[in-house]
Amino acid sequence: MTPRIKICGLRDVATAQRLAALGADAIGLVFYEPSLRNVSINLAHEIAAAMPPFVSTVGLFVDADPSLVEGVLRTVPLDLLQFHGDESPEYCRSFGRPYIKAVRVKPGLDLLEFADRYADARGLLCDAYSAAAPGGTGERFDWSLLPVGLPLPLILSGGLSPVNVTEAVERVQPWAVDVSSGVESSKGVKDALLVKQFVAAVRAARFDPASAGL
């Protein structure tokens, strides 16, 4: 087995189906208006409803008003929530749905303590810190900042691409990888060839599930 693959920021049904056929295990839908990848609830419903079995749909939120999350959940068949802002553990669990918590990694942050606070999360998504935006920047971070012994499945993200993802998997041994910018031909436009190369590069990596804490 190799790490699970999530491709984030889908904006149309045909592309989402194509990426699922190319090997994506999960697709991400962005509910964050400042992002170019933001989708309406109606479009999100169409995309999620078109996913084949065993491909998960993840809803991404950034410090959203709870009414937005609840409104999305009423209409869109999401499998998992991704909280990518400064949401508290209480907020994350208040929806009664499985969630992953994103953390923007920078020196000095105690990731073990952070993971302990979100002990009921299904995974910890480690992304690059950027002062400019909460995520989706295409920037990577220093993977050596990741501690050994994280108590949650690690989802590695931040500036991954077909060029660097084999090295990333071999060095970090994450449970899953998450990518957006690195498989786009222009901001917000997913490129099937880049996705194909990304999936092949993940599958080519030396990966030991035991190292991923499984």
Residues noted as catalytic: 8, 127
User: How many CB atoms within 10 Å of residue 206?
Assistant: 10
Choices 63-71, 108-116, 180-188, 192-200; region in contact with ligand LGQLAAA5 by CB under 6 A:
180-188
Q: How far apart are CA 26 and CA 8, in angstroms?
A: 8
Whether residue 26 contacts residue 6, with contact meaning beta carbons closer than 8 Å, is answered with: yes
The reply to whether 37 sits near ligand LGQLAAA5 by the rule CB under 6 A is yes
Structure tokens at 27: 């697709």
Shortest Cβ distance from residue 138 to ligand LGQLAAA5 (Å)? 5
Choices 103-111, 127-135, 142-150, 195-203; region in contact with ligand LGQLAAA5 by CB under 6 A:
127-135
The reply to whether 179 sits near ligand LGQLAAA5 by the rule CB under 6 A is yes
Among 145, 173, 45, smallest CA distance to 16 is for 45
Whether residue 127 contacts residue 134, with contact meaning beta carbons closer than 8 Å, is answered with: no
Binding site for ligand LGQLAAA5 (CB under 6 A): 8-9, 28, 30, 32, 35, 37, 60, 62, 84, 125, 127, 134-138, 157-160, 178-182
